[in-house]
Amino acid sequence: MQNFELYIPTQVIFGKDTHLQAGELIKKLQCKKVLVHYGSQSAEKSGLLDQIFASLEESGIRYTALGGAVPNPRLSKVYEGIDLCRKETVDFILAVGGGSVIDSAKAIGYGVANPEFDVWELYKRTQTAHGCLPLGAIVTIAASGSETSDSSVITNEDGWLKRSCHSDFGRCKFAILNPCLTYTLPAYQTASGCVDILMHTMERYFVNTETLEIVDGMSETLIQTVIHNARILMREPHNYNARAEIMWAGSLSHNGLMGCGTGGGDWACHQLQHELGGMFDVTHGAGLAAIWGSWARYVYETNPERFAQFSANVFGVSCDSTNFEKAALAGIEAMEDFFHSIQMPTNLKELGLELTDQQIYELAFKCSHEDTRTIGTFKHLNRKDMERIYHIANKA
């Protein structure tokens, strides 16, 4: 069993109407001027922003607002937010939205707190963060778990590169999780978010190292819980209990707990999908669903017993110790059947993409950082491996 560290400093406030506590929470942190960062106009039209502004005003907190964060959040919006924070002397950022908004808010906070270099240097990993403006999040999409994680992902329009940054400085001071705020999400976004949650756990689960039985058990139960409640939400989008289960699973999946003793996880599927998101602006969870089965079939023979355990404990597949391969493939097929049951793709064609050989080469070239790195730990994948997985997903 590997050594590990677990650091989860974010205060979680969970339940109905909890977003109305935003002003009080920021006041306790002794902050005076807030940037409220959000995405689409739905936060305005629904009245959510007005409620948040009222909460801030009641607590004597001044604020300015910046909308326009989009899925696969853009570096240009980050620069806009950094300039606004400096102009308005902002000392706190409140993200209202899903992972894209929270990730954008983290990048803005890094940029303000590290003026000596371009914030993109953090995402290129040529610089290290020395601080971040304090952050809080009001989550409106259960998916990324960014509200309790140390990570953020930004897309640079110059080359359409999608890169991540990990730093404890970027952890939210508090995260408000009100499942009711997810009621109005389209079914596609709900399903895509559920896939993202599953993949954050599965990326940590599929490793080639001795793992903790208790962490395996928590991961398998979390996956089953998300599968069960995702199916409910496809039929009953206003089912509060199902929304609550999914929302809490999202935070637990990505706060580090499911990675204890795993050496950090594999993350190859995320790396492969990041390039799809950067080049084609596809929805993150849907892109993960479209690539996972091709990755799984490409790597499972490295350790079929691990996949067989997943199949048996998550889907109840009969597992004969003399034929782990059969059980492994049955589990991969069962997961893809689930993806289809919630209208998620299992290949690139179903995602709406038909890639040329040149596009596949470009994806793999970018994912391998111009053929200078491998990805994954379950099986180390070089550029050629990446190309093969993209080709399999393209032809599936």
- What is the tens place of the pLDDT at every residue in 337-360? 999 999 999 999 999 999 999 999
Rounded average pLDDT over 238-258? 97
Looking at the chain, which residues constitute the CATH 3.40.50.1970 domain(s)? 11-181
**Confidence check: pLDDT of 323 > 80:** yes
Domain 187-395 sits in CATH at 1.20.1090.10
pLDDT at 396 over 80: no
Full 3-state SS string of the chain: CCCCCCCCCCEEEECCCHHHHHHHHHHHCCCCEEEEEECCCHHHHCCHHHHHHHHHHHCCCEEEEECCCCCCCEHHHHHHHHHHHHHHCCCEEEEEECHHHHHHHHHHHHHHHCCCCCCHHHHHCCCCCCCCCCEEEEECCCCCCHHHCCEEEEEECCCCEEEEEECHHHCCCEEEECHHHHCCCCHHHHHHHHHHHHHHHHHHHCCCCCCCHHHHHHHHHHHHHHHHHHHHHHHCCCCHHHHHHHHHHHHHHHCCHHHCCCCCCCCHHHHHHHHHHHHHCCCHHHHHHHHHHHHHHHHHHHCHHHHHHHHHHHHCCCCCCCCHHHHHHHHHHHHHHHHHHCCCCCCHHHHCCCCCHHHHHHHHHHHCCCCCCCECCCCCECHHHHHHHHHHHHHC
Average the pLDDT over 144-153 and give the result.
Answer: 96
CATH, range 11-181: 3.40.50.1970
* Region 262-279 average pLDDT: 96
Residue 322 binned pLDDT confidence (cut-offs 50, 70, 90) = confident
Residue 1 in this model has a pLDDT that exceeds 80: no
What is the reported pLDDT for 313?
Answer: 97
Task: CATH 1.20.1090.10 in the chain: give the residue spans.
Answer: 187-395
The percent of residues above 90 in pLDDT, for the chain, comes to 96
